[in-house]
Amino acid sequence: MRRKPLRYITVVTYGRTGSTAIQATLNALPGVMVRGENYNAFRGLHDYVQSIAETADRHTSGRPNNPWYGSAKLSPHDVIEDLRRHVVETVLRPAKDTTVVGFKEVRYEPGHFADYDLMLDYLLFLNKLLPGIVYLFNIRDAAEAARSGWWPGNESAESVIATTNDWLIQAADDLNRLLGPGRAAVLEYGAWNDDPQRLIEAYAAVGLPRDDAAVRAAVGERLDHGPHSG
């Protein structure tokens, strides 16, 4: 039986930023379990909750001959509570000794989100779905990332990555302002790959359990994953 409520974390990034290595370092921390990508599955939950909320807000009819019959009994809060149980139990699946659980996702560049405001709105929704969630924004030099295996053939890759970097840095600032300090941190691939201490300090700043040696070992471990992993 779990004694303490779970804490939540998510890695927000795009392809070829070393995010799988970030995932490995987080999973090396005591009590931390970070799952891999899920094709941004929770965006569908965001749309679902928004539709429920709009229905409950605008239409409150209890009459059976009204086209919005039943809307008066809708509770967006109850819907989110049920979705949280579903996400934790069937997608994140923490172990009995897990204290911090989460996931990473690489689908945040323009093309997945039409503009910055839509992305920020979704990130704020994650805080409703998983209260208190910590956001780790992982970025990489645009020219370096554009030369990697994810982006060949995309003539706009460097421009898209540069825009995404700007979005993620701005989102970290906005989330710390809106949700409180220590809720978001920016990680830069070139910096932490050269010096894992950068990760150690960033993880400590957002209140994660510590195991400095495990983080250093995970950064140094050669990863074996496909051409489309983060």
* pLDDT for 88: 98
**CA 19, CA 219: separation in Å to the nearest integer?**
11
pLDDT of 227: 42
Widest Cα–Cα separation across the chain = 67
The segment with the largest mean pLDDT, out of 26-30, 51-55, 74-78, is 26-30
Q: What percent of the chain has pLDDT over 90?
A: 77
In eight-state DSSP terms, residue 94 is -
Helix (H) or strand (E) holding 134: strand 134-139
When pLDDT is cut at 50, 70 and 90, the band that residue 146 belongs to is: confident
Question: What is the spatial distance between Cα 151 and Cα 156, in angstroms, rounded to a whole number?
Answer: 9
Helices (H), 13-94: 19-27, 42-58, 76-86
Amino acid at 83: L
205-226 confidence digits (pLDDT tens): 999 999 999 999 999 885 555 4
Confidence (pLDDT) at 114: 95
Q: What pLDDT, on the 0 to 100 scale, is given for residue 226?
A: 46
Calculate the average pLDDT of the chain.
91
Selected residue with higher pLDDT from 211 and 55: 211
Q: Any idea which of 26-30, 149-153, 154-158, 202-206 has the lowest mean pLDDT?
A: 149-153
Token pair 């809060």 in the structure block, residue: 77
Question: In angstroms, rounded to a whole number, what is the distance separating the alpha carbons of residues 150 and 27?
Answer: 24
pLDDT, tens digit, 9 for 90 and up, residues 61-92: 677 888 888 888 889 999 999 999 999 999 99
Both structure tokens of 26: 């987080």
Q: Where are the alpha helices (DSSP H) in the chain?
A: 19-27, 42-58, 76-86, 116-129, 142-146, 157-179, 189-194, 197-205, 212-220
Helix, coil or strand: residue 128: helix
CA distance 33 to 98: 6
Average pLDDT over residues 9-32: 96
Which pLDDT value is given to residue 64? Answer: 83
Q: 178-189, pLDDT tens digit by residue? A: 999 999 999 999
Q: Are 6 and 96 in contact (CB under 8 A)?
A: no
**For 90-113, how does the pLDDT look when each residue is reduced to its tens digit (9 = 90+)?**
999 999 999 999 999 999 999 999
**Cβ atoms 34, 9 nearer than 8 A:** yes
Determine contact, residues 99/207, Cβ cutoff 8 Å: no
Question: Across residues 192-213, what is the average pLDDT?
Answer: 96
User: What was the pLDDT predicted at 96?
Assistant: 94
- For the chain, how big is the Rg over CA atoms in Å? 19
Q: pLDDT band for position 150 (50/70/90)?
A: low
